[in-house]
């Protein structure tokens, strides 16, 4: 039987850049172009084979940027989970062969069809359950399933190909672990902003921009005009959108050639490599062999400040209840948002919220301010807060922090000398870093400072009015973990109900 409705399956694996910010570079574009040509060559060769055999190809299914070896954990139809290759194109071809949409299949080579034995067995099942068998062939002649000998040979070759892929993955992983342990660059053609692709040498022009971004985020940049300086809260810093807009205005180039955005500003300054640290699989594993562009301590301050921001928040914090109000429906934090009727706090859908809860900003802020001032007007509360505000961090905490940091360095050295495995290093590092995080939180907590400033005022109300928006938020969070915002009861009309704001229990 000569197929008249054959499907041509073409596949190629494309290794994406390690970081989304590197996507779009000239090197990435060149590689993408080369891989696209590979797909085109496979289609051209497949159509030529079909013509020689007298087959008619009615559909070409490309699997661009698709691995036939890597597996992911997916949910099966019966509700269980399992590791499977994720190949929508291959599954489309199988389904078409099974239901009669296609009556034959051509591929460039067996390894373009399957490198996982389970995928091959699924194809064999479809071929063998049809009478007569569905013709399947390849340009190289490595794939033939028209008899038992061909099926057996295909199974052997896929098993060998799978073993080869596993060996390669193991060698590559081991090599990257070794490079990470030694603090060396990971290799590859994609360079991060601030560093050259070869040798990972700092590029001074880009390094200068990175230091500028860090300073603007931390609120101590010396490049602002006096007018700009007045608008920037040094405790909050400049917004990423504002920084990106200025870089675009100055026509500062990016690595990708695309315009600066808040995302790219955050990305370039957040990378551990900027602080002279080596990262492996999303974790910092030690010092790098290259010099830091931004000192590590300062870089950590930048990361901490960015972690406390919400991307939709005006960083001059006009909406100071951002991070305080929580959606009672889905648990997302409400963010300051510009609605049709003015500023509001909303469980924003674009940020992953349910979109069901919103409250007018001025009314919510007025109610929380009323509750705070009422609470601070109580003598017992004031006395308790003064006690907290006057308590200094003990020397024991500082000593413990120093010991933990030293232990972390020792563990990194042991891993580099292969005295412990990466798994052991990662487990121990997680425990120590948790203690370090807790110690640093005690050492750098801002709430006592804010309380001292508030309680030192002649009156609590006057002190509150003098606080910046960010400090108001800190005071609220020092008094209560936050507020759940209940749905609006429309039976009462559009009037604001203070009962919608329910303090979260500690």
Q: What is the 3-state secondary structure (H, E, C) of 172-183?
A: HHHHHHHHHHCC
CB neighbour class for 336 (10 Å; exposed up to 12, middle 13-18, buried from 19)? buried
* CA dist., res. 322 & res. 319, Å (int): 6
Tell me which CATH code domain 204-307 carries. Answer: 3.90.1750.20
Homologous superfamily of domain range 6-178? Resolvase, N-terminal catalytic domain (3.40.50.1390)
By CB atoms closer than 10 A (0-12, 13-18, 19+), residue 325 is buried
How long a stretch of residues is the chain? 506
From the list 50, 142, 149, 151, the residue with the least C-alpha distance to 102 is 50
Q: Along the chain (506 residues), what's the average pLDDT of each consecutive run of 10 residues?
A: 91 55 47 66 92 93 81 72 84 91 93 89 91 91 89 91 80 65 63 80 91 91 83 80 91 87 89 83 73 89 76 52 89 78 80 84 90 77 58 56 79 78 80 72 49 64 78 79 88 81 83
Please tell me the predicted confidence (pLDDT) of residue 448. Answer: 52
417 in helix, strand or coil? coil
Separation between Cα atoms, residue 228 and residue 238, nearest integer Å: 10
Nearby residues of 464 by Cβ (< 8 Å), 6 or more positions away: 369, 372, 373, 376, 454, 472, 475
- pLDDT at residue 278 in the model: 80
Can you name the residues that pair with 283 across neighbouring β-strands? Answer: 280
Reference 450, options 473, 426, 482; nearest CA is 473
Here the tokens at position 38 are: 């590979």
pTM of the model: 0.41
What are the angstrom distances between the C-alpha of 92 and each of 58, 95, 101, 308? Answer: 14, 5, 10, 45
Domain positions in the chain are 6-178, 204-307, 325-503
Residue 244 and residue 265: Cα distance in Å, rounded? 6
HSE, side-chain direction, 13 A CA sphere, residue 129: 12
H, E, C per residue of 242-275: HHHHHHHHCCCCCCCCCCCCHHHHHHHHHCHHHH
Sheet holding 358-360, edge to edge: 335-339, 342-346, 358-360
263, two tokens = 């995302």
Peptide bond into 216 cis (omega under 30): no
DSSP state of 56: -
Q: What is the pLDDT of residue 489?
A: 83
pLDDT of residue 446: 44
**What does the alpha-carbon distance between residue 436 and residue 441 come to, in Å, rounded to a whole number?**
8
Phi/psi at 234 (nearest 5 deg)?
-60, -20
Q: What pLDDT does 49 receive?
A: 94
| Residue pair 439/404 in contact by the 8 Å Cβ criterion | yes
Q: Hey, CA dihedral for 312, 315, 319, 323, is it positive or negative?
A: positive
- Strand duo 325-327 + 483-485: pairing: parallel
Rounded to 10 degrees, what is the CA torsion of 388, 391, 394, 397? 30
Which one, of 243, 257, 273, 304, lies nearest residue 437 by Cα?
304
Q: How many other CB atoms are there within 10 angstroms of residue 131's CB atom?
A: 6
User: What is the Cα–Cα distance from 479 to 461, expressed in whole angstroms?
Assistant: 16
Helix axes 296-307, 204-218, angle to 10 degrees: 50
State the virtual CA torsion across 248, 251, 255, 257 in degrees, nearest 10: 80
Type and span of the H or E element at 357: none
Question: Which DSSP state fits 317?
Answer: -
Strands annotated E in 26-158 = 57-64, 71-75, 81-85, 104-107, 136-138
């Amino acid at each position: 039987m000569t197929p008249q409705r054959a499907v041509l399956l073409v596949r190629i694996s494309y290794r994406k850049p390690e970081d989304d910010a590197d996507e779009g570079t000239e090197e990435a574009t060149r590689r993408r172009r080369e891989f696209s040509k590979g797909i085109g060559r496979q289609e051209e060769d497949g159509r030529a084979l079909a013509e020689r055999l007298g087959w008619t190809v009615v559909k070409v299914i490309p699997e661009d940027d698709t691995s036939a070896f890597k597996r992911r954990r997916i949910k099966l139809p019966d509700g269980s989970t399992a590791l499977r290759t994720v190949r929508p194109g291959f599954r489309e071809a199988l389904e078409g062969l099974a239901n009669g949409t296609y009556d034959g299949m051509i591929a460039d080579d067996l390894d373009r069809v399957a490198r996982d034995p389970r995928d091959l067995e699924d194809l064999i099942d479809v071929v063998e359950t049809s009478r007569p068998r569905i013709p399947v062939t390849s340009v190289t002649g490595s794939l033939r399933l028209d008899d038992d000998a061909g099926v057996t040979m295909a199974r052997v070759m896929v098993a060998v190909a799978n073993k080869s892929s596993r060996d390669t993955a193991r060698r590559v992983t081991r090599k990257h672990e070794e490079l990470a342990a030694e603090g060396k660059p990971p290799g590859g053609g994609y360079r991060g902003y601030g560093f050259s692709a070869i040798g990972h040498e700092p590029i001074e022009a880009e390094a200068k921009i990175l230091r500028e971004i860090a300073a603007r985020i931390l609120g101590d940049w010396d490049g602002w005009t006096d007018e700009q300086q007045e608008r920037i809260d040094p405790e909050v810093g400049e917004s990423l959108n504002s920084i990106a807009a200025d870089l675009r205005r100055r026509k500062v180039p990016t690595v990708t050639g695309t315009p600066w955005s808040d995302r790219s500003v955050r990305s370039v300054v957040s990378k551990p490599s900027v602080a002279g640290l080596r990262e492996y699989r999303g974790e910092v594993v030690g010092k790098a062999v290259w010099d830091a562009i931004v000192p590590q301590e300062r870089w950590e301050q930048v990361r901490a400040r960015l972690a406390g921001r919400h991307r939709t928040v005006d960083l001059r914090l006009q909406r100071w209840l951002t991070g305080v109000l929580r959606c009672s429906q889905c648990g997302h934090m409400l963010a300051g948002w510009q609605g049709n009727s003015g500023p509001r706090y909303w469980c924003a859908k674009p940020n992953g919220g349910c979109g069901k809860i919103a409250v007018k900003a001025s009314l919510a802020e007025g109610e929380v301010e009323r509750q705070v001032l009422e609470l601070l007007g109580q003598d017992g509360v004031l006395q308790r807060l003064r006690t907290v505000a006057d308590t200094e961090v003990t020397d024991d905490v500082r000593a413990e922090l120093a010991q933990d940091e030293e232990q972390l360095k020792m563990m990194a050295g042991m891993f580099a000398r292969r005295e412990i495995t990466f798994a052991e290093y990662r487990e121990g590092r997680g425990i120590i870093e948790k203690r370090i995080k807790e110690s640093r939180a005690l050492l750098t907590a801002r709430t006592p400072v804010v309380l001292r400033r508030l309680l030192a005022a002649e009156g609590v109300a006057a002190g509150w009015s003098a606080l910046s928006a960010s400090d108001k938020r800190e005071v609220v969070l020092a008094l209560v973990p936050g507020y759940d915002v209940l749905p609006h009861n429309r039976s009462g009309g559009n009037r604001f109900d203070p009962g919608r704001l329910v303090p979260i229990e500690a």
